[in-house]
Amino acid sequence: MRISIAIAALMLLGSVRMQAQTKTPVYLDETKPIRERVEDALSRMTTQEKIAMIHAQSKFSSAGVPRLGIPDIWMTDGPHGIRPDVLWDEWKQAGFTNDSCIAFPALTALAATWNKDLALLYGTSIGEEARYRNKTVLLGPGVNIYRTPLNGRNFEYMGEDPFLTSKMVVPYIKGVQSNGVATCVKHFALNNQETDRHKVNVNVDDRALYEIYLPAFKAAVQEGGTLAIMGSYNKYKGQHCCHNQYLLNDILRGEWGFEGVVVADWGGVHDTRQAITNGLDMEFGTWTDGLSWGTSNAYDNYYLARPYLDLINKGEAGTKELDEKVRRILRLSFLTNMNTKRPFGSFGTPEHALAGRRIAEEGIVLLQNNNNVLPIDLSKTKKIAVIGENAIKMMTVGGGSSSLKAKYEISPLEGLKKRIGTQAEIVYARGYVGDTSNNYNGVASGQDLSEKRSAEVLLAEALKVAKDADVVIFFGGLNKSDFQDSEGNDRKSLGLPYNQDKVVSELAKVNKKLVFVNISGNAVAMPWVKEVPSIVQGWFLGTEAGTALAEVLVGDVNPSGKLTFTFPVKLEDNGAHSTGEFPGNGEVTYKEGIFVGYRWAEKQKIKPLFSFGHGLSYTTFEYGAVTADKKTMSSSDKITFNVTIKNKGTRDGSETVQLYITDVKSSLPRPVKELKGFEKVFLKAGEQKTVSITVDKSALSFFDDKKHAWVAEPGDFEALIGASSSDIRSKVKFALAD
């Protein structure tokens, strides 16, 4: 039977007292510098103990050193909730009754709040949950860039813009790590599709790499201080990213000075010698005997296990790289599970549910609201028709590794019923049938969604219910099933599944007061957009999803979310698809370069369905003219832009003021404009405030791939203040001096 880490530590300390009756060993003395403690612990370890630390010993743990009181490291999937435990050596559920978590909104919803304070709240709350479950590392957040709306994992990420993602990920990291739990920011790097994810080689120019795909990771390292980074499955420059010389050694450690641990994505290691030399620290999920897939309980045969030890014993490899790996792992342990001052955490609490609800409320985006169908006026509403499978389907389960066993989940229909009560009659009709299964990753939803009626009968029922309703709310979109918003496969098309377009169009014919709520982490096509007056982006909102949606729909909460990615009218309006390079055939080239998302749409003069940064409110905001505190800034200086915002309506509300920068004349092609600042401001009805946004020369810089350096060229620039990338309210010229 395994001796518990706690007992082992007590035995060690007792042994030290009995044998030496002197001071505590350096590595256990928390008053000593971390580097000194690491070196002391390392000097006491055998080669076998070091090897044991750098690879998995179970599905989600790696070994400590019981002899020295160094505990195992326990990983947990996130980043939207703490994954239920699985068996030691199997993916089957452990069957615990105390691992039902609070499901937080998906990161697409968090980013849509454009609220850095809520990112900190999110991180702190999920960090408390991870700490209570005694996890060492949270496998998240994800910061891969939204290159195409077909990527199955977009719902786990924070959108298409590197600046916004960078600003939102830093407080999330700090919140998690304040609990003595490490974040493992993923997936480094260029993991922008699920198709052929284990073998596809990504070809991208250095400008796009540094300007679009790396900034959030750099911010996570240098500003957030993340203790771990997860390598991605795909290849770059012909090497798998989990042991990639250029990404891990040259950029991550060399250019950025990362001192933390690089963790392989599960099954992402493919070569022992590359894993030794190319920057990887911890190998997980290989699930192989070194030669073939499918061998269970083969941890000693991992690439960084016995094969590595054999090379050392034969003199074909030294221990320099091994010691570096263990140093980094020890540092992580001393800052997390060996930190006696870290808090105890809390799990499944009402406070965490409330935090998730606040994030959900601010993340919901009002995309369209013709004729002011929303908010629903309950004083004038007697009957509400709720249509659509997504009104009742659980969304906390499914989606791949982020699938959760939630303590509870309030569906949109349930949320409306709870909020409205007897104020109005609510009648439900399914309208369409999507995924009727109820088991994902071993977690059973408990729902019986089986349906024997035909599509024609379901549509007829929906139309009958909708015809005499005062308001019709259709909850549709995607779900977290395979080939939708889910890990492992990409979506097959931009269109809605399950023939929803027909249902929506037919509903619009029988009732003009129609609201479409899109439950998804991705953009979808909306061929009926002119027929439906009100459209809401509802995301995957977690435990309190239905509560938050109901509050926005009836006006208890004034929506303030803004899109973090562009909704194209058609797939060909997206740069990755316009150039024909998705998903590739073993090789994929990012021919659009730096022109991702709104950058592509503006370069090509394509009008999107809904623009990056777009989001309406139940009130109106008046923008004054933007001013700058100086006309010219030096390269070592900063410049502040000020704009007055007034709430002209009768409802309190929040607006996100967005600052974009245009380089008037550049030696290299640049986007029409790029987001370089934002502030969310709350205004009571009639209230006015001045918003200030300060930038330095980094906001004016581009990456010169020939010089391999960031360059800010002297000359003329424009600062644009807007409510979205396509709704610019005012601009001001300024210059960067020589």
Q: Are residues 329 and 429 in the same domain?
A: no
pLDDT band at 281 (very low <50, low <70, confident <90, very high): very high
Closest CA to 213 of 261, 168, 146: 146
Segment 87-140, tens digit of pLDDT: 888 888 999 999 999 999 999 999 999 999 999 999 999 999 999 999 999 999
- Compute the half-sphere exposure of residue 382: CA atoms within 13 Å on the CB side of its CA: 2
Q: Would you state the pLDDT for residue 445? A: 84
Contacts of 403 (CB under 8 A, 6+ apart): 83, 396, 397, 440, 441, 443, 480
Q: Are residues 374 and 523 in the same domain?
A: yes
Residue 209 counted as domain residue:
no
Would residue 265 show up in a list of annotated catalytic residues for this protein? yes
Q: What CATH number is attached to the domain comprising 663?
A: 2.60.40.10
Rounded to whole angstroms, how far apart are CA atoms 531 and 523? 18
Judge whether 221 and 176 are in contact, CB under 8 Å. Answer: no
Q: Are residues 359 and 258 in the same domain?
A: no
- Looking at the structure of the chain, the number of domains it has is 3
DSSP element (H, E) containing 359: helix 350-363
Closest CA to 265 of 236, 294, 298, 231: 231
Q: Would you state the pLDDT for residue 425? A: 98
Q: Would you state the pLDDT for residue 1? A: 38
Is pLDDT of 706 > 50? Answer: yes
Q: What CATH number is attached to the domain comprising 368?
A: 3.40.50.1700
- State both tokens at 198: 């284990």
Q: Would you state the pLDDT for residue 444? A: 83
Torsion sign, CA atoms 102, 106, 111, 112: negative
3-state helix, strand, coil split of the chain in percent (to 5) is 30, 20, 45
Q: Are residues 506 and 389 in the same domain?
A: yes
Q: Would you state the pLDDT for residue 288? A: 56
Is pLDDT of 297 > 80? Answer: no
> Phi, psi (5° rounding) for residue 544?
-100, 25
Segment 145-179, tens digit of pLDDT: 999 999 999 999 999 999 999 999 999 999 999 99
Edge-first strand listing for the sheet containing 534-537? 365-369, 534-537, 514-519, 471-477, 383-387, 425-429
Residue 91 counted as domain residue:
no
Contacts of 340 (CB under 8 A, 6+ apart): 30
Closest CA to 608 of 529, 718, 720, 517: 529
Q: Which of 290, 309, 335 finishes a domain? A: 335
Q: Are residues 304 and 365 in the same domain?
A: no
Judge whether 523 and 494 are in contact, CB under 8 Å. Answer: yes
Judge whether 547 and 418 are in contact, CB under 8 Å. Answer: yes
Please provide the distance, in angstroms rounded to a whole number, between the alpha carbons at the two ends of the chain: 70
Residue 310 counted as domain residue:
yes
Q: Are residues 322 and 368 in the same domain?
A: no
pLDDT band at 272 (very low <50, low <70, confident <90, very high): very high
Is pLDDT of 290 > 70? Answer: no
Q: Which of 77, 85, 196, 265 is catalytic?
A: 265
Q: Which of 513, 544, 563 finishes a domain? A: 563
Q: Would you state the pLDDT for residue 138? A: 98
Q: Would you state the pLDDT for residue 296? A: 56
DSSP element (H, E) containing 574: none
585 C-beta neighbours (distance < 10 Å), count: 8
Q: Would you state the pLDDT for residue 17? A: 45
Rounded to whole angstroms, how far apart are CA atoms 665 and 715? 7
Q: Which domain holds residue 625?
A: 621-736
Q: Are residues 355 and 383 in the same domain?
A: yes
Q: Are residues 493 and 524 in the same domain?
A: yes
Closest CA to 263 of 235, 228, 234, 236: 228
Angle at CA of residue 508, ends 451 and 496, nearest 5°: 55
The whole-number average pLDDT for the span 250-257 is 98
Please state whether beta strands 383-387 and 73-77 pair in parallel, antiparallel, or not at all (unpaired).
unpaired
Q: Are residues 445 and 505 in the same domain?
A: yes
Residue 608 counted as domain residue:
no
Is pLDDT of 306 > 80? Answer: yes
Residue 372 counted as domain residue:
yes
Residue 194 counted as domain residue:
no
Structure pTM? 0.95
Segment 472-514, tens digit of pLDDT: 999 999 999 999 999 999 999 999 999 999 999 999 999 999 9
Higher pLDDT, 19 or 174: 174
Angle at CA of residue 143, ends 88 and 234, nearest 5°: 70
Residue 690 counted as domain residue:
yes
Q: Are residues 649 and 540 in the same domain?
A: no
Residue 163 counted as domain residue:
no
Q: Which of 538, 563, 588 finishes a domain? A: 563
Q: Are residues 358 and 296 in the same domain?
A: no
Q: Are residues 405 and 462 in the same domain?
A: yes
